[in-house]
Chain A
Amino acid sequence: MSVEASVISAVCKNKDISTIFASDIDECFVAYKDVWEGLKSYYHKFRSVPDINILTDKFSDFESVAVHGETDYYVDQLRNEYLAGKMRDALLTGARSLESDSAPRVLASLQTELLSLGRLVGGAQDLDLTDIDSASKHFEKVLHRSDQMGGSPGIPTGIKAIDASYVTGMAPGHLIVAIGWPGRGKTWATGWIAVNAWKAGFKPMIVSLEMSPENMRDRLYTVMGEGMFRASDLSRGRVNIDDFRSWGKKSFADKDGFIIVSPEGASEVTPNMVQAKIDQHKPDLVICDYHQLFMDNKRSDNMTQRAMNLSRELKMLATSNQIPVIDITAATMSDSHSQDDPPMLSQVAWSKAIEYDADMAFAVHRHSVDSAPGDPAVIEIISRKNRHGGDFGCMIEWDIDRGVIKEIYS
């Protein structure tokens, strides 16, 4: 018995075609695609679901099936059957490809194929505004989470100016975008946020495509040490190992991990790979450093398409894993813009996609690039979009070499 025939028969019997329209399962009809199209066209023309006999008369190879359940039940069966078939096909194709292609390439292609099937699993989420019980339960849950997290349901950034205005904190599912001109403190500032999250008991994961993991680690130790180490000493290995060990023992006791991920060799990193690392390390916060160095899952050749896909895929990473993701993005240099001030969203290539997908965006700008060695840098942080509160801005006096940081507002 064909499940497709059961779905069509159930729709005709129960007269509820809207169930199928909401489920968006057009592509699951294969054997009786013409019958399904015929049913839809009848509905669109006469605004009613046809009797099953009309379909059996019109399509001679179609036989109706006796159905007893709700249409949803058969839709679920059809979706399961289609999904299982597609997964089998993908796995078989992958196994065959292994004979002539390299394992990493086959894995990447398999991941893309399987991820694309996710569209058949997730549907639209409906929410009834008048359902006070459901809203009350939601508020209770959010309050409980906020109480546990020290005031807001998300992870605090540790920067007072942001935490006071971004009232949700870096909440599950949020895509946060940090923009800046090259070499103006984006990685430092987001590294500091990661350290603050770690100090508050969360587990950050930085996917660093710009710097080697050792360089990134030196930077983070400098920030964690709050004046104890100099970045310039760490980079030259000038550290008292005994002091360092005792500091590490004291600082890292009873703390969650802090993961730095870097690509090996020249391999390209996609959101699928980031997903694999999320599955492996289970972080509470992911930082992608930086947007322009990542490849989208479809490995688009077109730069615009790639950047747009990536923005959407990082947002999906955040929502599907229910963790916040920070996407670091470089502003685009142009002949008609100066780099003396923090970039605006319009100065970032493909800024529309970022504007749509980001829950919060802020610019990071180091003003005193020519300051004398030893003088603290002045880094400006300014909101460029905040869906969850008002605008914010502050200056940070930052002794980058010693990791000593002070927030100022003048």
Chain B
Amino acid sequence: MSNSKNLSYALVDYYAFKFKETYGREPIVNKFRDRWGFQDMVESISFDDCKRVIDFYFKTSNAGHKLNTLFTNFDKLLLSLRDAEQDKIRRSAIRAKTAKVVEDWENNNER
């Protein structure tokens, strides 16, 4: 448990870092209260996933990127993130396949 406590503090810092990167100012965070939300997160999903979810959260169009929205939606955010990652791999494969289809198509048209 003490490990998740330490990790939750690390996540508070990471959230503050991403917030400042996005908005150019420090967020108002109560470390001793808000770390409980991060502790729930880190006990539900891995620490690495928590960081990826925070990164992803700041890419969404959420207004203000408030902590409460993150705490109540981190599971949905993780699902969306995984969908987006899978889609990225799929799109890359489709582009490679399309290049071949276009080449064949152009050769057929030339004949």
A382 lies within 8 A of B94 (CB) = yes
A165 lies within 8 A of B77 (CB) = no
B7 → chain A, closest Cβ, in Å? Answer: 23
Known: A160-B106, A341-B87. A336 touches B73 (CB 8 A): yes
**A337–B91 Cα gap in the complex (Å)?**
17
A368-410 Cβ-contact flags toward B at 8 Å (1 or 0): 0000000000001011000000111111000000000000011
Contact of B62 among A160, A335, A344, A382 (CB under 8 A): A335
Residues on the A chain within 8 Å of B95, using CB: 382, 393-395, 409-410
B17-41 Cβ-contact flags toward A at 8 Å (1 or 0): 0000000000000000000000000
A344 lies within 8 A of B83 (CB) = yes
A339 CB–B CB distance under 8 Å: yes
A62 → chain B, closest Cβ, in Å? Answer: 63
B105 lies within 8 A of A163 (CB) = yes
Residue of B nearest to A337 (CB): B80
Total interface residues on A, using CB and 8 Å? 28
Interface residues of B in 54-68 (CB under 8 A from A): 56, 59-62
**A163–B96 Cα gap in the complex (Å)?**
16
Residues on the A chain within 8 Å of B87, using CB: 341, 344
**A151–B109 Cα gap in the complex (Å)?**
8
Interface residues of B in 92-111 (CB under 8 A from A): 94-99, 101-102, 104-106, 109
The 6 residue pairs across chains A and B that have the minimum distance between CB atoms: A164-B105, A338-B59, A409-B99, A393-B94, A333-B61, A393-B95
- Which chain A residues have a beta carbon within 8 Å of chain B's beta carbons? 151, 160-161, 163-165, 333-342, 344, 380, 382-383, 390-395, 409-410
Query: 11 interchain pairs (CB within 8 A)?
Result: A160-B105, A160-B106, A164-B102, A165-B101, A336-B73, A338-B84, A339-B59, A341-B84, A391-B97, A392-B101, A393-B91
